[in-house]
């Protein structure tokens, strides 16, 4: 398989082939994802909750993101890696956003950046894409706005908010994004957005009509300890596997059943 670039995703949409995307935060999981054929790996700021033990994504810093982007990039050859711009790295000024996006490409080594927001972010995204930065949009439920929204709320439930989301998607397409994440949006509205724009939509909690799907890797692996979102599906139960392994290890050390001659020199 050849290294994937932005054109690959456009072709998938045109050919009606679904795009497979997944988050990853480290070298090992990135290798597994690539070997399984995951086409787009997002180093999401969900890093904060999945790996760093934060309550929300708001506490994640740019340096933390870059550290994990480098690890994921080292674990991939062909998958397309996207770095998620964390809270307040692109809201203060467009100049700062341009500099921070550059750090993702130059230091993090990723293939593209993602940022949250709709039409209000179109001007910034135009500047980034004109300068040669591949950008993935993200509309609908926006985790970085959880504090002002008062929680994680499904977006586009009324006719007015649904229309506003469609306008957001069109504005992002015009600004040059290569794909848009649709998060927490009713299936009917995602379908309409997917039919309206010519770039691919990647859904999470946005129904089956999207051109692709993305999930948080901890949810897929059954490694999530707290709340499991309705949109997620567990394809493994690593919580139980790890718990059993650690308990067995502890018991064998306590009982002197480990190490044996086999593990000794
Ligand atoms: O941070 C993240 O993992 C994301 C996905 C939910 C799309 O933004």
Task: Read off the pLDDT of residues 176-217 as tens digits, 9 standing for 90 and up.
Answer: 999 999 999 999 999 999 999 999 999 999 999 999 999 999
**pLDDT, tens only, 107-141:** 999 999 999 999 999 999 999 999 999 999 999 99
pLDDT digits (tens, 9 = 90+) for 145-179: 999 999 999 999 999 999 999 999 999 999 999 99
User: Atom 8 (ligand 1): residue with closest C-alpha?
Assistant: 44
Check if 183 is active-site: yes
**210-260: per-residue pLDDT in tens?**
999 999 999 999 999 888 899 999 999 999 999 999 999 999 999 999 999
Residue 77 buriedness (CB in 10 A; 0-12 / 13-18 / 19+): exposed
Is the C-beta atom of 46 inside 6 A of ligand 1?
yes
- Marked catalytic residue, from 183, 247, 252, 263: 183
* Average pLDDT value over all residues in the chain: 97
For residue 226, the model assigns a pLDDT of: 81
* The CATH fold of domain 6-234: TIM Barrel (3.20.20)
Q: What is the pLDDT of residues 84-107, one digit of tens each?
A: 999 999 999 999 999 999 999 999
Task: For residue 159, give every residue at least 6 positions away whose Cβ sits within 8 Å of its Cβ, in sequence order, or none.
Answer: none
Residue of 33, 58, 138 to test ligand 1 pocket, by largest number of atoms within 8 Å of CB: 138
What pLDDT score does 70 carry? 98
Q: Please give the Cα distance from 165 to 171 (Å, whole number).
A: 10
pLDDT, position 1: 76
Question: Which pLDDT score is estimated for 225?
Answer: 83
In the chain, what percentage of residues exceed pLDDT 90?
98
Position 4 scores a pLDDT of: 98
Helix-strand-coil percent breakdown of the chain, rounded to 5?
A: 50, 15, 40
CA 235 to chain centre: 18
CA atoms of 84 and 65, how far apart (whole Å): 8
pLDDT at 48 over 90: yes
The rounded Å distance from CA 219 to ligand 1 centre is 12
Please name every residue paired with 80 in a beta bridge, in sequence order, or none if there are none: 40
CB-ligand 1 contact for 181 (6 Å cutoff): yes
Instruction: Return the ligand 1 atom nearest residue 57 CA.
Output: 1
Among candidate residues 86, 125, 87, 83, the one with its CA nearest the CA of residue 104: 83
Residue pair 165/156 in contact by the 8 Å Cβ criterion: yes
């Amino acid at each position: 398989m050849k290294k994937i670039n932005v054109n690959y995703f456009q072709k998938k949409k045109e050919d009606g082939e679904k795009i497979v995307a997944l988050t990853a935060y480290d070298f090992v999981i990135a290798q597994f994802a690539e070997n399984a054929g995951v086409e787009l790996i997002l180093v999401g700021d969900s890093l904060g909750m999945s790996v760093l033990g934060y309550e929300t994504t708001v506490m994640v810093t740019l340096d933390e993101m870059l550290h994990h982007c480098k690890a994921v990039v080292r674990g991939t050859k062909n998958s397309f890696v996207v770095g998620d711009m964390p809270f307040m790295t692109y809201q203060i000024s467009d100049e700062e956003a341009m500099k921070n996006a550059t750090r993702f490409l130059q230091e993090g080594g990723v293939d593209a950046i993602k940022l949250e927001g709709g039409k209000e972010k179109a001007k910034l995204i135009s500047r980034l894409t004109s300068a040669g930065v591949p950008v993935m949009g993200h509309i609908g439920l926006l985790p970085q706005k959880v504090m002002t929204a008062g929680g994680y709320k499904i977006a586009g439930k009324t006719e007015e908010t649904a229309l506003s989301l469609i306008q957001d998607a069109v504005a992002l397409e015009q600004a040059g994004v290569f794909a848009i994440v649709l998060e927490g949006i009713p299936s009917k509205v995602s379908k309409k957005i997917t039919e309206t724009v010519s770039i691919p939509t990647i859904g999470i909690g946005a129904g089956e009509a999207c051109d692709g799907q993305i999930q948080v890797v901890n949810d897929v692996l059954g490694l999530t300890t707290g709340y499991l979102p309705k949109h997620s599906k567990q394809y493994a139960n690593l919580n139980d596997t790890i718990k059993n392994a650690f308990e067995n290890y502890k018991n064998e050390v306590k009982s002197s059943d480990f190490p044996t001659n086999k593990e000794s020199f």
